[in-house]
């Protein structure tokens, strides 16, 4: 157990009072981002009447995701990853624009193509531009 100096403790408590539970601690944000998979997320999906339903395979675990559109489905896959890797909502929202785990363009096109009823795709990390 690490001890906090009295000054750091007062500073921490002051931040809690001022910012409440919405404070994003940069070090914690970086920790959550580092724990998320950077590639190797595989998804087997099928198109139901109006939904895209898929199984997400990552680190030996399987999760389910669904969405009405390709964009909604990809967001649901990200949400499943956030939940699986215990990323709190406020940090998931903060990572939203910075954690760009997306399928390749051609696979995303297939996901949008209603004529394709079933396929697999692999998500990869897309570098962010400054």
pTM for the structure as a whole: 0.71
Residue 112 lies in a domain: yes
Q: How many CB atoms lie within 10 A of CB 79?
A: 16
Residue 130 lies in a domain: no
pLDDT classification of 130: cutoffs 50, 70, 90: very low
pLDDT classification of 13: cutoffs 50, 70, 90: low
pLDDT at residue 66 is higher than 80: yes
Task: With beta carbons less than 8 A apart as the criterion, state whether 47 and 113 touch.
Answer: no
pLDDT at residue 97 is higher than 60: no
- Could you list the residue range(s) of the whole structural domain that residue 72 is in? 6-125
Residue 48 lies in a domain: yes
């Amino acid at each position: 157990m690490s001890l906090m100096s009295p000054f750091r403790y007062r500073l921490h408590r002051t931040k809690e009072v001022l910012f409440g539970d919405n404070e994003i601690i940069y070090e914690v944000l970086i920790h959550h981002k580092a724990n998320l998979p950077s590639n190797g997320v595989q998804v087997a999906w099928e198109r139901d009447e109006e939904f895209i339903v898929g199984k997400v395979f990552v680190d030996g675990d399987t999760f389910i995701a669904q969405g009405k559109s390709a964009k909604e489905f990809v967001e649901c896959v990200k949400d499943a990853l956030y939940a699986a890797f215990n990323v709190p909502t406020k940090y998931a929202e903060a990572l939203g624009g910075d954690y760009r785990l997306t399928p390749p363009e051609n696979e995303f096109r297939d996901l949008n193509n209603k004529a394709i009823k079933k396929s697999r795709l692999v998500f990869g990390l897309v570098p962010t531009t400054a």
